[in-house]
Amino acid sequence: MLHVVPMALLLGGLLAGSGRAMAQVTESDFLDELPVVLSVSRLSQPVHEAPAAVTIIDHEMIRTSGFRDIPELLRLVPGFSVAYTRKNTWTAGYHGLGDAYSRRFQVLVDGRSIYSPHYGAVYWTDLPLAIDDIERIEVVRGPNAAIYGANAFVAVINIITKTAAQVPGALVSLQAGEQDMRGLTVRHGGGDADLRYRLTASVQQRDRFEQDVTFKSVASGDNGRYFEATQTYFVNGRLDRQLAPDSDLMAQFGVSSGDWRAGRQAANPLAVLEPTEQDSRAFYLQLAYHKVESPQREWRVQAYHAQNRFDADTQADLTGLGAGLVTVDQYLMQTRSNLEVQVNEQWTPHLRGVWGGEVRQETVKSPQNYNSGKTVRGELARAFGNLEWRLNEHVLLQGGAMLEHHFYTGADVSPRAAVNFTLAPGHVIRLGVSRAYRSPTFFEEEGNQVFVLQSGAVVDSETVPSEGLEPERVVSREIGYVGNWRALHLELDMRLYRDRITDFIGQIRAPDEATYKPKVFTFDNIGTIDSQGGEIQLRWRPTQLLDVSAHFARVFLRADTSRENYNEDIPQSAPRNNWGMLASYRLASGWETSLGVWRTDAMKWLTEGDLTEAYTRVDLRLARRWKWQGYDLDAALVGQNLGNDYQEFRDTNVFSRRVYGSLSVAW
């Protein structure tokens, strides 16, 4: 059961202590003060009226954090664990269950889904998007399949980019630092009142970890030299056209190309089966038309097409192991085509809603991963609706559902209901319950990863297709509190939750039959997981000079599955305690400084990952903004992980102290 009594006592103390501050605040002032979110229900609403917990990472937090890789920004969200795996790949977990792929998130960029139909991963580094072009990120903490369908299983991450009108003129941004960190971004924006455009080009280079890794136990096979040397190039553009006073058109495109090099020299002879070079290509085109028919009705139509291609190959001589000359070809092509309609309506002053639908086709082609040259494809269709009814000035009711037909799992309904009680202006209690599904990915359902000889004959299998998977299901219950003390310039968000996941999909040993060799894997619905805990986040801006954000999360996981290794690993897959803080202070003459501290307890990354030790990471940034000869300049010196080295995802991924400098010029 959720611990309601401690929450009630804490809320009572907070409200009692804020009586004087609230007496000076009117409701309209309070509403003007709070940020507005767009992602939770597809309705524009202040955070205290949202039916689920949400974290806003605004452009000031992005800038002062010193992070240059988009997934690292999730360190600013309670309950999130972030790690770089290898081969230019990032992963993340929310309340545990994290592995090499972020299969249980819905990640959007301006409404465009970017998770992989193959693995379910999010190819963050392949994303043709500059961190300088992000206006803000809204992270819905909790299932939101009622609004976004399958894969909005534990959280939704919605990246909102800057419109063309927000970035007029030119920008050049450079970064250089240790571990071969290099970055160059060039942007130009222009146009007139009716037609605005933005064009961005960038090249980024990274070498993430320490190369030489030595452990006390040489027999582990992990000692050796690891390297990551990656370059990614991309161009993207955005066009915003005002067609009429009541309608507008948005068009976006992006193209990226990556030259990624990774590998290891280790005691394990099978390391030669891993290609050391990988080429990536990505492309997307997105169109959106928006029309306001009346003050009571507006609608939006969106279509996009995206594709990702990866190509890596090598040949390995395993004659000594009895296999001969093995060809490894990791070619992978993925596409997604999507059409969506959304209608927002205000029927009465106290009742409004949103409804719509979506159709999508996804394809994957990868001869090595599916033991076939054919393209695997599937279509899905969705219909959704969400209502918001203001019963009176103290009670707000919300409810909605998504009806979805998936090509593997058939029809499912994902409902959600929430009620928000306003205890006093600026202080709201939220009660919510929701159900969500996660449909299996192509690889989970049909993956048949093989290794072949030069002749084309299959010499070994690593995975075989499943026997038909059910979707994962989660029922989530939560109690939340949102508080705002305008006189103290303090915003507070607390949440207690309990999630029950059934039909959890895990990777297991294939049945021991003659057709299967040892250590061949498949996927299966293996059992139930219970997750419960609490999280808190705050934002304190007492003056225009000081900005502090902080968060804390505590998680308890229990697994009841048919596989003992999962019963042991899943409870460790979330750090028991996880907290972070980002504070920035503006000094005189355009100088500013910021401090970031993040603490994570020990945790176990599932499947391909390891048990990594607890760590505390400290980042420090010193920057100055000034004007010169009509130019706006911003220079910064950033020190990352100024304490001890720590491990990310694998115990061989050693992240050490490093420093980089940056300079941006705008005109």
Give the count of domains, the chain. Answer: 1
| Residue type (1 letter), 579 | W
Compute the CA torsion angle 604, 606, 610, 616 (nearest 10 deg). -40
Closest CA to 266 of 280, 276, 256: 276
So what's the pLDDT on residue 459? 80
pLDDT digits (tens, 9 = 90+) for 205-252: 988 776 666 654 444 455 555 677 788 999 999 999 999 999 999 999
- Give 83: exposed, middle or buried? Use CB within 10 Å, 0-12, 13-18, 19+: buried
Mean pLDDT, residues 578-584: 98
* Range with the poorest average pLDDT among 119-123, 273-277, 566-570, 623-627: 273-277
So what's the pLDDT on residue 26? 34
Confidence of residue 272 (pLDDT cuts 50, 70, 90): low
- Strongest mean pLDDT among 19-28, 31-40, 114-123, 521-530: 521-530
- Is the pLDDT score of 17 beyond 70? no
Q: How far apart, in Å, do the first and last CA atoms of the chain sit?
A: 57
Closest CA to 521 of 623, 469, 444, 420: 444
Domain hosting residue 497, numbered range:
4-666
CA dihedral over 517, 521, 524, 528, signed as positive or negative: positive
CATH label of the domain that carries residue 511: 2.40.170.20
- Is the pLDDT score of 20 beyond 50? no
Compute the CA torsion angle 83, 122, 279, 255 (nearest 10 deg). -130
- Is the pLDDT score of 30 beyond 50? no
So what's the pLDDT on residue 12? 38
Mean pLDDT, residues 389-409: 96
Q: How far apart are CA 260 and CA 277, in angstroms?
A: 6
- Is the pLDDT score of 512 beyond 70? no
Other Cβ atoms closer than 10 A to 16: 8
Q: How far apart are CA 575 and CA 557, in angstroms?
A: 10
Average pLDDT, whole number, for the chain?
Answer: 89
Q: Where would I find the beta strands (DSSP E) of 85-133?
A: 90-94, 105-109, 112-113
Q: How far apart are CA 595 and CA 650, in angstroms?
A: 27
So what's the pLDDT on residue 27? 34
Q: To which residue do tokens 């009895």 refer? A: 322
Give the residue with greater pLDDT, 663 vs 90.
663
So what's the pLDDT on residue 32? 44
Percent of the residues in the chain that have a pLDDT greater than 70, as a whole number: 89
* Range with the poorest average pLDDT among 131-135, 481-485, 486-490, 650-654: 650-654
Tell me the DSSP string of 263-287.
Answer: EEEES-GGGGGS-SEEEEEEEEEEE
Q: How far apart are CA 617 and CA 604, in angstroms?
A: 18
So what's the pLDDT on residue 211? 66
Q: Which residues have C-beta within 8 Å of that of residue 53, sequence separation ≥ 6? A: 140, 141, 142, 430, 478, 480, 493, 495, 535
Confidence of residue 29 (pLDDT cuts 50, 70, 90): very low
Q: How far apart are CA 137 and CA 17, in angstroms?
A: 32
pLDDT digits (tens, 9 = 90+) for 436-490: 999 999 999 999 998 888 777 888 888 999 989 999 999 999 999 999 999 999 9
Q: How far apart are CA 118 and CA 365, in angstroms?
A: 9
